[in-house]
A and B are shown apart, each in its own frame.
Chain A
Amino acid sequence: EPEVTQTPSHQVTQMGQEVILRCVPISNHLYFYWYRQILGQKVEFLVSFYNNEISEKSEIFDDQFSVERPDGSNFTLKIRSTKLEDSAMYFCASSEDRGAPDTQYFGPGTRLTVL
Chain B
Amino acid sequence: QKEVEQNSGPLSVPEGAIASLNCTYSDRGSQSFFWYRQYSGKSPELIMFIYSNGDKEDGRFTAQLNKASQYVSLLIRDSQPSDSATYLCAHQEESSYKLIFGSGTRLLVRP
Chains A and B are bound partners: no
Using a CB–CB distance below 8 Å, which chain A residues touch chain B?
Answer: none
